Amino acid sequence: MPSTLALARKPRRTPHDGMVPIAGGRFRMGSDRHYPEEAPVRWVEVDDFWIDARPVTVRDFARFVRETGWVTVAEQPPDPAQYPGVLPEFAAPGSLVFQPTAGPVPLDDIRAWWRYTLGADWRHPVGPQSSLNGLLDHPVVHVAWADVEAYARWIGKELPTEAEWEYAARGGLDGADYAWGEAFTPGGQVMANTWQGEFPYQTLKRGCNFRTSRTGSFPPNGYGLFDMIGNVWEWTQDWWSTTAPQAASPCCAPKNPRGGTVEGSLDRNCSAGGDIPRKVLKGGSHLCAPSYCRRYRPAARHAQPIDTSTSHIGFRCVVRGAGEPQRNC
């Protein structure tokens, strides 16, 4: 684990130019046209905030680790007391890694393409023999909630709420299906790093790429934010909930909603790991496909246990208020 002193030391503050100011306002959050957990559409209001223009990269995270000595959740063996009955072969450091299948498979069992891979972590994104060669400007992955929270605290920022994240992702296009408008590929142009081909075995991307892309490889949204859709799912501050404060008109919009409760985020239908609280992920990832997971939209959301890291989850940070954002130097 990290040095308490390293994380608690008072940082020297200077303006940070890697963020974009977002003027607060009211918007229609959610969608009634896609997955049930996105409904209903309701009016929400957020205050001014700043948000990272890009997801936190491997380069950024490496500096954090270098200066604090932080050891990520994926680099630590699971605590047997927390995971009673865990198989011996899984009682070692590791993380979930996507593995393309050899051909078509039923899409109702994610175990066909997800593997708990010993030795996989942010330094070794597909397993112990892999490296960060060529990946320094890709989003960091294999980060659990404790890891992203520690990074945000160190850099002098916070994680966005679900409402803040969605408001920023829409880029001023209130009510549109996508962060760039109503068409998934306007004029045939690919707008984000999402799945191209037949999931989960075929990719039509250049170089047969099944994984992340360099941040900023696709056009920004209307607020100048990159990779809000696709590439990696992004952690938010909110506890998962399928209910939300509802407002049918702008005049009654709840202000700065903060999601559900820890207790309410638990998965009561899960026999293993159901007692692990879950946060809201936003934005979809490079694994989202028209035939499988159409969550490459601002309204889309997903529940993620706070102890679990994967090869397709990253994050970005915010600073609340209209003042100048600060950073750790």
What is the per-residue pLDDT across 159-172, written as a single tens digit (0 to 9) for each?
999 999 999 999 99
Q: Is the Cβ–Cβ distance between 93 and 77 less than 8 Å? A: yes
What's the CA gap between 125 and 211, in Å, rounded? 10
Give the whole-number percent of the chain exceeding pLDDT 70: 90
Band (272; pLDDT cuts 50, 70, 90): low
Band (327; pLDDT cuts 50, 70, 90): very low
User: Who contacts 308 (Cβ-Cβ below 8 Å, separation ≥6)?
Assistant: 96, 144, 276
**301, burial (CB in 10 Å: exposed 0-12, middle 13-18, buried 19+):** buried
- Given a cut of 60, whether residue 8 has pLDDT beyond it is no
What's the CA gap between 197 and 28, in Å, rounded? 32
Amino acid symbol at 188? G
Residue with tokens 């050899």: 102
pLDDT the model gives residue 271? 55
* 233: its two tokens: 């799912």
What's the CA gap between 196 and 204, in Å, rounded? 5
What's the CA gap between 99 and 111, in Å, rounded? 10
Q: Average the pLDDT over 93-117 and give the result.
A: 96
Rounded-to-5 percentages of helix, strand, coil across the chain? 20, 20, 60
What's the CA gap between 146 and 202, in Å, rounded? 34
Domain boundaries of the chain, sorted by first residue: 4-9+18-328
Domain covering 4-9+18-328 assigned CATH 3.40.50.1100 in the classification: no
Please state the pTM of the whole predicted model. 0.91
The angle formed by the CA atoms of residues 190, 161 and 182, to the nearest 5 degrees, is 30
Band (252; pLDDT cuts 50, 70, 90): confident
pLDDT the model gives residue 86? 78
What's the CA gap between 241 and 104, in Å, rounded? 33
Amino acid symbol at 234? E
- Given a cut of 90, whether residue 198 has pLDDT beyond it is yes
pLDDT the model gives residue 323? 63
